[in-house]
Amino acid sequence: MAFSPPPTPHPPPFFSGKRILIGIGGGIAAYKVCEVISSLAKVGAEVRAILTDSAQEFITPLTISTLCRHPVYTDQSFWQPIHARPLHIELGEWAEVLVIAPLTANTLAKLVYGMADNLLTNTVLASTCPVLLAPAMNTDMWEQRSVQRNWQQIQTDPRFHAVGPGAGILACDRVGMGRMAEPASILPHILSLLHTQGQRDLAGKQVLISAGGTREYLDPVRFIGNPSTGKMGIALAEAATHRGAGVTLVHAPLEPRLIAELQGVRAIAVTSANEMQQALLDFFPHADWTVMAAAVADVKPASYHAEKLPKSALPETLPLEPVPDIAAKLATLKQPHQKLIGFAAQDGDIETPALEKLQRKKLDAIAANPIDQPNSGFGSDLNQAILLDRNGRKQAIEPCSKLQMAHQLFDFVLGL
């Protein structure tokens, strides 16, 4: 995923000292919250947790306090006059992001109607930070009209952000909607909320993104390709969705789990450069921003063989022909309100060829990222770049997670 602790003993500066409050509701999915808390603590965040009374039937305060490296808060501590100021006020002012997971039908109803009868709901009302909701419940409960009405209503409040639920086998053996989002989906959303402070500054925009490495086949089993994993494109899709955009992702072959973890994204699978170009041309007229993060092949075999060639029949020299220059084609169709952003994966001097590509292909901006540096480029969970735009602006992005880089790129494009 786009969110991943770095392979070093030091946490990334972004999470160091960030204040995240976790509210845990009463449901069997409470066990998943342990991984969320543990992951955040490992990357340097300050994590505090509120356990509702019903949550303590599923998970103990000792477990959560150990993972938080801090005593857990319960309703018992709420009603004890041992704090200099009211506890819900202190926690509400302290938190930069509040996560409620699992969100039960009961707590959802209280949030919709502004009720406050325990520490968690009082803290929500006493805070102004963004709130991430991760519901979890039995399918029949989730599909009740009253629950769906409350779920739709809460999302009209700009403070509240949703992650999940998903479908699958539930603890009650039912197969259907109601599974709490996995930590791999919750963690990136927390990062996004910390970066944007909950602002949906891409609301109303349609963002078209290409991702992954295209494959140009010689026969059914041999192809010309590259090591791109599509992680940067996935991160861009996540960041744009978290900021309120409608997102279409045109992707070459990727790990299925990467696509499965995306929510609210229209994903179009392609294989070759020709297929990618056609898909992008189909959706480009409706896009406000198009980000070309895919590693598209430069050439393809001049001939395709429908059956696998025996080794003895392989040509000593392989005739090649160019594939379409997709970015340049899109630039000829671009309307004044549209923005076209490219990527340039380079070694050595990354800025000069990226600037040339920006001008030659008539892009609005480009991200030049090194492929010869550690923790950067193909296959890495981290990345770094130099951002350039048509107006001469330049911004360096230091090594960070690909989701952080995606947000910085969107910040840069907003300045065009």
Residues with catalytic annotation? 172
Specify whether the CB–CB gap between 113 and 147 falls below 8 A.
no
Q: Which of 49, 53, 87 is nearest to 69 (CA)?
A: 49
Cα–Cα distance, 335 to 212 (Å, whole number): 26
Q: Is 75 helix (H, G, I), strand (E, B) or coil?
A: helix
- The DSSP string of 232-293 is HHHHHHHHHHHTT-EEEEEESS--HHHHHT--SEEEEE--SHHHHHHHHHHHGGG-SEEEE-
Residue 345, strand partner residues: 369
∠ CA 186-37-116, nearest 5°, is 80
Q: Pairing between strand 246-251 and 299-301?
A: unpaired
Specify whether the CB–CB gap between 99 and 22 falls below 8 A.
yes
Place of tokens 């963004």: 130
Specify whether the CB–CB gap between 381 and 6 falls below 8 A.
yes
Specify whether the CB–CB gap between 322 and 297 falls below 8 A.
no
Per-residue tokens: 61:
């305060």
CA–CA distance from 352 to each of 32, 37, 357, 368, 369 (Å)? 47, 43, 9, 9, 12
Cα–Cα distance, 190 to 407 (Å, whole number): 13
Q: Which of 404, 352, 407, 402 is nearest to 377 (CA)?
A: 402
Q: Is 7 helix (H, G, I), strand (E, B) or coil?
A: coil
In the 8-state DSSP scheme, what is residue 180?
Answer: P
Q: Which of 26, 182, 36, 41 is nearest to 103 (CA)?
A: 26
H helical segments located in 129-199: 139-142, 145-154, 183-196
Phi and psi, residue 135, nearest 5°: -70, 155
